[in-house]
Structure 1
Amino acid sequence: MAALGADPTVVSDETRAAIEQNAGVRLHEVDPEVLSFVVEASRKCGNDHFKRGEYQKAAESYSQAIAGRPDDFTLFGNRSAAYLALGRASDALLDASKAVLVSKSCGTPWAKGYYRLGCALERLERFDQATEAFSEGLALEPQNARLADKRDKCAGLAEDAKNARVREEGTARRDLVLKLREARRAEVQLQMQNQYKQAMQSPNFEMEDFDWRPTFFPSSRLRRRGERSSTDSSYVAAVAGYCRRLFDLESPRRDLGLLSQGGLLGAYEAALAAALKEQPGAHVLVLGSGSCVLGLMALRCGARRVTCAFRTPSLRRMASVAARENLEDPSRITLLESPVEECVVEDRADVVVTDWFDHTVLGLGVIPSLEAAASRLARPGAKVVPQRVAVRAAIAELRIAKVSGFDLSYLNAYRWHPGHDRCDLSRELAQGSETYRLASDSFVACEVDLQQRLDAFAGGSGAGVEEAGENGERPEWEAEERVEAVASEDCVANAVAFWMEIHFGGGGAPVTTWPGHPAALSQGWPSAGHLGQAVSYFDEVPLSAGDALEVSVFVGRDRLLFHLPGRASRPRHACVPAWHYDMLLDSSRNDAYEGAIRRCVESRRAFASAAKITALDVGAGSGLLSMLAARAGADAVVAVEVSQHMCDVGEECVVMNGFAHKVLFLNRDARRMDVSRKPDGTPPDMEDKADIMVYEVFDSGLIGEGALHLVAAARARLLKPNASIIPCAARVYCAPISIRVASAAGFDFGQLNRYSWRPDYVGVELESIPGDWEALADPVEVFSFDFYEHEANMAPAEKRIEFAIKKDGVVSAFAFWFDLQLDEEEWLSTSPYGQKGRTWQQAVQRVEEICVQAGSGLPVVARHDTYGISFDLDDSMVDRGDLSSGVPLWDPVWKVSYDRATE
């Protein structure tokens, strides 16, 4: 047996000695000239055999030559070629490696040796190493075409092999994802069965039905919507009625947004003035605008009479408040009590003005309302304000890719919307991610001529509009436009982004609903930014720069639809809300958490190097914090997520990123978990208590998602006594602010602030609307939470504070925010005065308006019930009636409707 480490490319010393003894000749005693002659003869013989295809004999001849001249690297190269021809790739690799090594030791690196080495590696399908060998040979002979061709070929094969490995690994991981998902489903069913057994009951549904989730087929939007679903099904009718009630309750607050759009109001007034100049003393019909601002402007421009129709009763009530505040004789404006489809007036209108637009363009029913007005309320030839709407669109890529070094692209399958998702395109495109961008120039998707629609239906003719069918139904789609959008760069498109340009005629600039668009910015167009922009999602389409993507734009009476003809669309089951993507792209939040987790793991490892470190991630969501903990060195991570489909999402991300061996996803409510076996025999949720708890379950008001309860439950049952908690503490700050409508277009709308009230605080990104609010006092700290003191945190608390008012004004709300302490070094703040990411907004709680003066004090009571924070005026210190602005906290009729809808 050859000695360990012996060179397999040459004859061993033992073999050489045996051959010399058998032949009776010692090689070192042979005349060098004779030895050289024998070596060259063997080389020539080997070359001849190789040319004739006698590769075995060639290898033997080269071996004889090598025995006489073991330092000749060309002989090893030749034998490598012979071995390779014989299919002995491993032997060929040894000889080629020896040829390269010997040539380098001789100071004459041999390019052909690298060629032989690359060929052997290629045969062994070690393409990366083969490419490297050919590249080194090219460095010696840059003009060698064979080396260049081989290098390029192996580089391509290496890339193909890498992609194949990735696909194989991806397939294996996806199989694991499905198996884990099935196991979790079975576990949930087992828990349900045990609960029914304990209660000695049985479910009134099949257990499999618990896993059923509605399936949405995007292609179904192309079909006609059935009328039976809304009339035959009592359940559908009840849901539809409830949705209409919610729309009625929310519509007043939405309509208040119009009052902040000075450019849009100016365009309306200019168009009304032009129309009334042509028809002095005309009758104006207003469709929409619960603030009544359009009706008031019409009277100021010289209208003889104004009639207003509304979408909901709450809007009519709000308009009556505005009319009483701004008119000595409110009867000059007639507020119709019935929907426009049911109204008839004796004196038909000469001018029709509407603001029934939203981000979906036609979703508020402006077309059916114009048709109804044309047949019952407007004269033939009546003028419409605005005249037409152009819908501009662009192909967009709005996708998650790499986040903190992890591939979270699997979340993109959950980014969709059954209709059109409202968004702020300027905000989305400023995410700082290469996969958030417009991928084409904007194009006109369609135009809706409102004047033409009114003229077509004037007097009930309906001319110019597609006729109804035999059954009296109109076609679902009245027009279809096909547009080719050309990609401006390489991308993976997954949406059409669109917005409106509202044209009022008279040669004026259009009003845009995307004020951040370059054309609008450069030309100074007035804005209707309160309507927002929209995106319509489709399945991902890879595009190269210059590729054309055909988009069909269907235009109906009450909606638009963007569709990619000839492309399949996958069914959808669940979606991830838009705010979750903002949170994942908040690099400041992610970096702060990563730093705190890494320091915690390193610290615990330093004090207990042999101990196993287990981390608990509560509210795991996409699994990002779990993967950060695993990457930081935690030996095991238990990720807990109460939402089933978010658990599916997070588990997929974890497995596909290669952390399945460290991270275990549990579809649980952490407040009901334990490390002990349960009374019904169910195994414990965790094998052992955790050393680290990491969590991010904070809303804009800090504790609204139950953070205090989750920490308390974990401290009691899931964490070791010395466990670390990330974050570890928080401080809440508050300031009284004035965020209200005072006046617009020269009219007083202060009384309409009563429609802004909601019982709970709402999230508002105050730093993005600096002109819409004003702080009337410096912020003060109201609550401080040490999350290690979980028992104290679980007791509701009340605190009296006093704000030092620094300027005169009307306090209409309290804004509060928090500073979050992750560890001794890292803090995150949601203050509107600092630099923060987009994960959190500030919390704004509306209160009854009070007037304050600079230099005075404002006594306030701050409370928290462990689930939310609230503020109110301290009635024991001040008379609320003396400070009242005269605006009630809410409209009593609206409040009754709200209570009925939420009871």
Structure 2
Amino acid sequence: MPQALQGMRLDGIRKHLWRYGNQVAARNAIVRLEDPHWLAAWDAALADLTDRRVVLHGSELGVFALRALHHGAAHVVCADPYPLEARITTGIVQKHFMKQWRARFGEAVASWTEQEQRASFESFAACVDIVSGEPQTVLEADCLVFSQIDHTLLGTGIVQAVRRHQGEGRSIRRVLPASARVFAMPIAWNYDATGYQLEALNVLRWSPYPQPFDVETTAWTPMSEPIEVGSLDFSDFQPAIWDTRLPIVKTGEVDAIVFWFELDLGGHCIGNEPGSPLRWLKPAVQHIDAISVTDGDERVLRTQMTETRFHFQLGDSASSPRSQSLPGWYVSTLGDAPRTQAYRAAISRALDGATDSLVLDIGAGCGMLPMLAAEAGARQIVGCESNVGIVQAGRDVITVNGYADRVALIGKDCRNMTIPEDLPRPADLVVLELFDCSLIGEGVLHYLGHAREHLLTESARFVPAKARIRAMLIEYRLDRLWDLDVNLLNPYRAHTGFINVDATRLDYRPLSEPFDVFEFDFATAGPQPEDKVIRLPAIASGTVGAVLFWFDLGLDEANWLPNDPHAAGGSHWKQGLQVLPELSIETAGELPLRASHNGSRLSFRWEAESLAKDDFSLLPRWDPRWLAANTELEQQTQALLQHCVQNPDEYAKVAEIALRIAVDPAAHGVEPGIAQRFASLFFNT
């Protein structure tokens, strides 16, 4: 392939991913704005901009611009990188000034011509300019603000942005954040919560871009004290290599480097160290190949800093080529000690000394549940798992833990299993943990229906034996941030389908009591669709616009494993959230909700026949142009993937480009999360 054509391919993919970035930028900004600690730190920084002319590289949808003016800034330029951001910023800013403008001129406005009204308003709001992308004219400003930082510090292009805005002919002298101190710590993964040796999985704990480090403290062990590796000045950035001596405090293997930073926001500091109260900005973790260390050793950690990324190397640590990775949700599963203990007890009760029982695990992963069954005395367990990488690592896990003589791990979907090729006879006990936050989204009802017909005895037992989906209606919206009306942000906060959330980090208000949605007995439940209307009394006045839902597992007749957002400790599954058209309600009003599933997808909607059109909010739940652009992008991505599947040589070239962009997204002008998701389409294949 000529280099020119390869460059065209790279440029085409980069532009495609940039358009995805335009779609997610507003939602990312809203996530930042919803973090009270992040907001408070920036409020203190913006308060120091009195009488300053300010350029905001990313105005946080106009919110930071208006807050800077509130604190006395003389003039603000909102230089929003994406067109959608600029459009939303325009709406927020105009709505804010329109109210003040009308209050000032009152009824006199009605007698003006349209041109006079426009001229008057533009003059009134002249303290704010809004541009999309890189400004084409020289900006006379005192300060540049860049708040769109992610967990890696440099991965969203802050250094590049500062250099552009401080280029020839520009007068910007001050940058916020002004500087940063960078800290790091080597860690080892800890699987004590499972009771098994799972280190064989570490080969799959890899990602091209450092991931947010949001892992339970029980799931990792620090191998040295945290240490400052260096500092940088954003106004005068210079690439650097820092060599830092690390005193090792524990014998074992270093599996990853965790790093974080402290930002200087003009005398006001905020950091994302482990345990920080920040909701959205976590430390970052870079995976490395395991390195053995001994307590008392002193190792050198080399930190290479470029404009767009940090890279850490401990001693002679290499990085083996990787093509498979552990799904992110799987990591949290391994650290869920209450789940493991509950399953351990339930499997033991289900076997009840019947060691001759044949146990089948559907969706066995690395073999955790099969090993629990072997631990409880079962002499023959077969697990099926379709993820090739996890199967390979799982077989090593089973061997290391001494269960290879009793546990067989098969790389198949259970619907492709047969007797006696894969199972010597029908199984007596089924164990499974094939659930997403909606319970049924991974196809558990389909798998069970097939297994009961082809792979199980008529009297087979199940762990869990049953499950129920529960939910409550909530108010989930943004009305004000500081003294600003930000209601216009709500259509960009919503998702068309449900999403996985941690309700303990979610700002919402219950407007109904929790209620049962669907119940499933796994001995009989199949993928047959269900549809029902649930009429719920409101418990408070407000604007109801979302369903928060979860599931509870009935491990047997007497014991439940709850996933309730109010349950102590919680679980790795967390909860689901689906937004709905908003309704204004009064206490004791009735809320008619229709719940349905098609065997694998759960959904909610209002029972429209029971509601009047006037009951609904006038503000649209989604921006139709935004939705249409999403649909078009998804269709283009599917067409690209289909083309790659049909052309192996093309697949290899696109996969290489996807990985190249994912490793260093800022260097390609791509939003990091988008780059990671695109690259993951080519993993595990």
TM-score normalised by structure 1 residue count: 0.64
Displacement of 1:817 after TM fit? 0.9
Q: 1:673 to 1:857 in 2, by over 3 A?
A: same
Q: 1:799 to 1:549 in 2, by over 3 A?
A: same
Q: Partners in 2 of 1:377 and 1:249 — Cα distance?
A: 33
Q: Partners in 2 of 1:312 and 1:889 — Cα distance?
A: 21
Displacement of 1:850 after TM fit? 2.1
Displacement of 1:603 after TM fit? 6.1
Contact 1:268 1:385 in 2 (8 A): no
What amino acid sits opposite 1:501 in the alignment?
A: E
Displacement of 1:733 after TM fit? 0.8
Match of 1:93 in 2: none
Q: Deviations over 1:2-61 (max 9, x none)?
A: xxxxxxxxxxxxxxxxxxxxxxxxxxxxxxxxxxxxxxxxxxxxxxxxxxxxxxxxxxxx
Match of 1:483 in 2: 244
Contact 1:307 1:335 in 2 (8 A): yes
Please state if 1:336 is matched with 2:131. Answer: yes
Q: 1:789 to 1:651 in 2, by over 3 A?
A: same
Q: 1:323 to 1:358 in 2, by over 3 A?
A: same
Q: 1:549 to 1:728 in 2, by over 3 A?
A: same
Contact 2:49 2:71 in 1 (8 A): no
Q: Deviations over 1:146-175 (max 9, x none)?
A: xxxxxxxxxxxxxxxxxxxxxxxxxxxxxx
Which range is displaced more, 756-765 or 236-245?
Answer: 236-245
Displacement of 1:418 after TM fit? 2.0
Contact 1:514 1:529 in 2 (8 A): no
Matching residue within 871, 891, 901 for 2:623: 891
Q: Partners in 1 of 2:275 and 2:470 — Cα distance?
A: 32
Match of 2:491 in 1: 754
Match of 2:343 in 1: 593
Match of 1:164 in 2: none
Q: Deviations over 1:801-850 (max 9, x none)?
A: 12211112222310111111121232111001112443211111112222
Please state if 1:255 is matched with 2:67. Answer: no
Match of 2:207 in 1: 417
Please state if 1:374 is matched with 2:107. Answer: no
Q: Partners in 2 of 1:879 and 1:734 — Cα distance?
A: 24
Secondary structure of 2:160's match? helix
Match of 2:140 in 1: 348
Contact 2:260 2:283 in 1 (8 A): yes
Match of 1:841 in 2: 574
Displacement of 1:584 after TM fit? 2.0
Q: 1:559 to 1:617 in 2, by over 3 A?
A: same
Displacement of 1:231 after TM fit? 6.4
Q: Partners in 2 of 1:264 and 1:595 — Cα distance?
A: 42
Q: Deviations over 1:281-330 (max 9, x none)?
A: x4321101342112112222333432112232222222223223322255
Match of 1:799 in 2: 532
Displacement of 1:403 after TM fit? 5.2
What amino acid sits opposite 2:603 in the alignment?
A: S
Match of 2:672 in 1: none
Contact 2:529 2:599 in 1 (8 A): yes
Match of 1:428 in 2: 216
Secondary structure of 1:378's match? coil
More strand by share: 2
Match of 1:571 in 2: 321
What amino acid sits opposite 2:523 in the alignment?
A: Y
Q: 1:283 to 1:880 in 2, by over 3 A?
A: same
Q: Partners in 2 of 1:736 and 1:570 — Cα distance?
A: 48
What amino acid sits opposite 1:323 in the alignment?
A: V
Q: 1:404 to 1:564 in 2, by over 3 A?
A: closer
Displacement of 1:577 after TM fit? 2.6
Q: Partners in 1 of 2:575 and 2:612 — Cα distance?
A: 29
Match of 1:859 in 2: 592
Please state if 1:732 is matched with 2:492. Answer: no
| Residues 5-24 of structure 1: pairs in structure 2 closer than 5 A | none
| Residues 383-422 of structure 1: pairs in structure 2 closer than 5 A | 383-397=174-188, 399-402=189-192, 404-422=194-212
Q: Deviations over 1:681-724 (max 9, x none)?
A: xxx43332211111110011100100100100101111111111
What amino acid sits opposite 1:784 in the alignment?
A: E
Match of 1:704 in 2: 441
What amino acid sits opposite 2:166 in the alignment?
A: A
What amino acid sits opposite 1:572 in the alignment?
A: R
Please state if 1:550 is matched with 2:307. Answer: no
| Residues 177-576 of structure 1: pairs in structure 2 closer than 5 A | 232-233=6-7, 235-276=9-50, 280=51, 282-328=52-98, 329=121, 332-337=127-132, 339-340=133-134, 343-375=135-167, 378-379=170-171, 382-397=173-188, 399-402=189-192, 404-424=194-214, 427-429=215-217, 431=218, 436-453=220-237, 478-505=239-266, 508-514=267-273, 516-517=275-276, 528-576=278-326
More helix by share: 1
What amino acid sits opposite 1:480 in the alignment?
A: I
Q: Partners in 1 of 2:208 and 2:286 — Cα distance?
A: 9
Displacement of 1:494 after TM fit? 2.0
Displacement of 1:368 after TM fit? 0.8
Match of 1:142 in 2: none
Aligned residue pairs total 609
Match of 1:109 in 2: none
Q: Give unmatched runs, 5+ long, in structure 2.
A: 99-120, 636-685
Match of 2:668 in 1: none
Match of 2:427 in 1: 690
Please state if 1:828 is matched with 2:561. Answer: yes
Displacement of 1:233 after TM fit? 4.9
What amino acid sits opposite 2:339 in the alignment?
A: R
Displacement of 1:894 after TM fit? 1.1
| Residues 70-85 of structure 1: pairs in structure 2 closer than 5 A | none
Q: 1:668 to 1:239 in 2, by over 3 A?
A: farther
What amino acid sits opposite 2:548 in the alignment?
A: A
Q: Point out the structure with max Rg over C-alpha.
A: 1
Q: Partners in 1 of 2:541 and 2:435 — Cα distance?
A: 34
Contact 1:349 1:377 in 2 (8 A): no
TM-score normalised by structure 2 residue count: 0.84
Matching residue within 744, 757, 774 for 2:509: 774
Q: 1:390 to 1:716 in 2, by over 3 A?
A: same
Contact 2:472 2:515 in 1 (8 A): yes
What amino acid sits opposite 2:142 in the alignment?
A: D
Q: Partners in 2 of 1:675 and 1:234 — Cα distance?
A: 51
What amino acid sits opposite 2:260 in the alignment?
A: W
Contact 1:511 1:528 in 2 (8 A): no
Contact 1:489 1:544 in 2 (8 A): yes
Matching residue within 478, 495, 500 for 1:741: 478
Q: Give unmatched runs, 5+ long, in structure 1.
A: 1-227, 454-464, 466-477, 518-526, 606-611, 677-683
Displacement of 1:509 after TM fit? 4.0
Displacement of 1:402 after TM fit? 4.4
Displacement of 1:376 after TM fit? 6.1
Displacement of 1:892 after TM fit? 1.8
Displacement of 1:438 after TM fit? 2.7
Secondary structure of 1:894's match? helix
Displacement of 1:387 after TM fit? 1.3
Matching residue within 333, 338, 346 for 1:583: 333
- Higher relative contact order (CA closer than 8 Å, sequence separation 6+): 2
Displacement of 1:237 after TM fit? 4.1
Contact 1:621 1:650 in 2 (8 A): yes
Contact 1:512 1:529 in 2 (8 A): no
Identity score, percent: 29
Secondary structure of 1:413's match? helix
